[in-house]
Each structure stands twice: as C-alpha cells, then as structure tokens.
A and B are shown apart, each in its own frame.
Chain A
Amino acid sequence: MATSTFAAEALPVRASLLLLTVTAIACARGTPHAEPEAVAAAVARYPIDIRLPDGLGELRTGQVRPDGRPERVACVTCHGHAPEDLASRNPTAQMHGAIRLNHGELPCLACHDRSRRNNLHLADGRRLAFDEVDTLCRQCHGSQARDYAHGAHGGMTGYWDRSRGGRVRNACVVCHAPHAPSIVGVYPAPPPLDAPAAHPEAG
C-alpha cells in the first residue's frame, strides 16, 4: 500500500532543472525579524469551511430528472446485496465503463470499500464517508497534505486574518478528479494589450 513517501520522492522535472539556477535564500533572509513579532493574542478565530463538490459518491447516470437536475443513484442501489458476486466480474467493463482510471496503479478497491460501497476506506480498513475524502487523499499524499494544512496548496478565499473572518477552502477532489487526478489544462484569459513579447536581447 502506498504511503506518504510517494509524493515526497516524486521530484517534479521542471523544478529540478530550475533549482540549479536558483539561489535559495534562507528564511532568515526573507523575514524581517528585526521588527517586533506581532503579539500572538489569544483571539477567537473564525472557522475554515471545506467546500466539497455536489453529489459526491453518487452514480451519475447521465439521465436528467423532470426538475432538470441530473439523475443520480446511490451506490447501494446495486452494491447493497452481493458484493462478492460483483467483485468477481471485470470491474469497469459494463456498469462503470466510462471511468478511465489514471491514478498511479491503484485498483478500485484501494479507495472504495468492498462490502460497503457507500464508503471509502483507508489502508488499515477504517471506513470513511464520501465527504471525508480528503482523509483518504492525505493518507497517500503526505507532503501535499502538509502544504495544504499551511495554506500552501489548494488555495482559499476569505480572510488571511482569521480573527476578522473565516476562510473557504476546496477539498482535494474539487481540483483533482479522484480517478484521474492530474490537472487538466485550460485556455488562458487574454493577455494585456501592451504585453511585452520575449526580449531575446535581455540578460
């Protein structure tokens, strides 16, 4: 089973190239510690809310309800009864044929619970509700989880100063589809009209 060392060892290529040319500056350099530290006052802190996508862990059938909302079905509708029976069949051949798994080499049941399909599970067998999905991701991606905990991964909206207001943050699966988590490209917003092009003559 994968552990948090996976991500720590995965050195992104473009970063490793760059590090050769980058002068790292110790934090002491960047921090104006000559100035007095702010008093760590024991003030109340507004909460951090984690935003999850709608209808997490329900089967999107592709059908539309009469009220216009997408038709979704709970997993137990089919998986409640004879899990072993289903498990013996080719997993994605029929029912979930649209799923293209591209996430390491993980099998379906690394994340989905075999006998309680309305749950996810951790490596030690502990079951998680679908809305606890971040705990699942954190199990295998320790370094991103640590960065996320310090606001350095995953972004946020709201207040930097939590004595004055709360924050809303995205669950991992808002940005990373669990079955194919790599970030998909986008078309950028238009450039400013006076944007300088490359200056080959410079530096």
Chain B
Amino acid sequence: MTNTPRRTHLKVLGASLGAAAFAKTVAPLVEWSADMDLDEFMQRHYRELDSNALADVISRHEFSARDEYGADVTIRDVRPTPGVVFGYALNLSICIGCRKCAEACHQENNHDRRSHQSYIRVFEMSAGSIDFHRGNAGYDHPVPAPDKYYMPVQCQQCENPPCVSVCPVEATWSEPDGIVVVDYDWCIGCRYCEAACPYHARRFNWHKPEIPADEVNPNQGLLSNRIRPQGVMEKCTFCLHRTRQGQLPACLEACPTGARVFGNLLDPESDIRWVLANKRVFVLKEELGTRPRFFYFFDV
C-alpha cells in the first residue's frame, strides 16, 4: 500500500465483506464523516508523512486536545533507538494482584474514565493452571487470596504479531524496537486485530474517551498515549513516549511489589537479559508461534 488514500481501502473492504457487515464494522467512521475535516480524511498513513506533514498532524491533535478536552498537551513523535529491542518480564511469585499496574496504565495512557479502561488485565488464577482464560479479571476482594496467584496480561509485543497481519489497511505494524503500534488516524475500526490477538490485548474505543481536563496526562506520544478518537483500536505500547527516552514504563514504576523487569534485549548487561539467563521464563501460548517479547517466571 503506497499512496492510496484511505477511501480506496474502504471500498475494497466493503466489496469483500458484504454491505451489512461493512456498515457494521465501519459504523463509527461513517458517523464521523459528516463533520470530519478534509485534511484529516486525506491524511496520509503515518509512515508516509514527511516532517512537515507530521508537524501539521501533531499540531492538529494538540489543538483538538485543547478544544475537546480543555487540556494543554504536548505530543511528540518519539522514534525508536537503534540497537534497542524492548523486553519485559514479570515474576508471578511476587505479584499480589493489587492492580496498581492497571491503574497506572489507566492514568498514564489517558484511558476512558467511564469504562475504567487499561491495557493491563490482571487475572486471578488457581494454582496449577497457567491458562489465563480460566482466570478471573473481575475479582474484587482482598489480595492475595489463599491458593491463588495473579497474572497481569498486556500486549506481548510479539515478534510474529497476528494482529498486524490481519489488518486490512496496514494501520498497525511492528517498529524496529519491537513495539507494535497503531496509527489512530488510519485505523478504520474493523476490529479484526482484536479478534486475532490471542492475548486480548487490544481494545476498541466504543465511545469518545471521557477524561476530565485536570486528569489528562499532557506528556503524549503520537503513536502511544495521545487521546484516541472514537472508533479506533488501541493497545499497550510499553509506554513508548517514556521508554524510548530511557525511562521505565508506568506499570513497572507503579508496581509496589517489584514483580516487573524491563529493558533492552540487545544489551547483554541488562536486567531483562539477566532474567532470561537465570530464571526459568516462559511465554503465554508458545504453541501459537507468536514469539512474545513479554516473559513470565516464578522464583524457584
């Protein structure tokens, strides 16, 4: 897909899906189109934008944050650092299921307050099982509960991401540092990626996110935590607006138990590499061949 504007893709998609299904999958898009401005509609795919066009896009989004949310925000396009591929590991012997990570994500990433959304779901698991589909993400009692352990699940930043290959418009892709991102301006909201993800890591913006002005995190990334429009997909980006500047992700900093380890997989001296070499790590649903860059382990 090179210089084809989005409209063409919509046509192609419509033809292959059947009218009813098409109307449903793109309903939010159709709703907006009445008041959508032409610039926005014709905006090229993120990866084709030159620096001038990018600056325009950024200032347009900054303006609309002020206009629609009353918040003064700074949006940056932080690029990957050569020689860095991010990895994350989580110690399941330490996690107590307090959901502080999910809460920090909610705030850091400007999630919709109404649905109390977060890129992290913490599953309460019975000892003896590692299948998080059998876990319960809605628990609401003191933790840790007897005979339970807790498994936080977020985007696994797969090396072979099934969500990327199913996207009909290439609105989502893997960056050189391993982070799978979404171009919110290009996504048509068909939700194929949500269905393709074996980790339930993608979320759909059913509504325009509601966030009070004083709660908006003003430090925003174009491809990460800027406030998403209605009708597009979103997902964990390992807080790329922080981590690409050398900082730790918000969920790690918020963890009161120290269960999370983050770093550069290409640096043999990094904490994450030490964990891979010294703990018996495993990945979720290894049999699918997704090759996650998110690892789990127990202390033994």
Contacts and interface: CB of A to CB of B under 8 A. Distances in A.
> Are A and B interaction partners?
yes
Interface of A: 11-25, 27, 30-32, 35-40, 143, 147, 150-161, 163-165, 170, 175, 183, 185-200, 202-203
A195 B137 contact: yes
B263 interface: yes
Interface stretch (B65-73, B160-168, B264-272): B264-272
B282 A151 contact: no
Nearest to A149: B274
Given A11-B300, A150-B278, A155 B116 contact: no
Size class of the contact patch on chain B? 35 or more
A192 B118 contact: yes
A19 B299 CA distance: 10
A151 B149 contact: no
A198 B299 contact: no
Nearest to A155: B258
A160 B258 contact: no
Chain B binding site: helix, strand, loop or mixed by DSSP? loop
B144 interface: yes
Contacts of A21: 128-130
Contacts of A152: 89, 91, 261, 271, 274-275, 279
B281 A150 contact: no
B61 interface: no
Contacts of B100: 189
A170 B260 CA distance: 14
A185 B280 contact: no
B267 A40 contact: yes
30 contacts: A12-B299, A14-B149, A14-B298, A21-B130, A22-B282, A23-B282, A24-B282, A27-B276, A27-B281, A30-B276, A37-B266, A151-B261, A152-B89, A152-B279, A153-B94, A155-B252, A155-B255, A155-B258, A156-B252, A157-B253, A159-B246, A159-B247, A160-B262, A186-B96, A186-B143, A191-B138, A195-B121, A196-B137, A197-B138, A200-B134
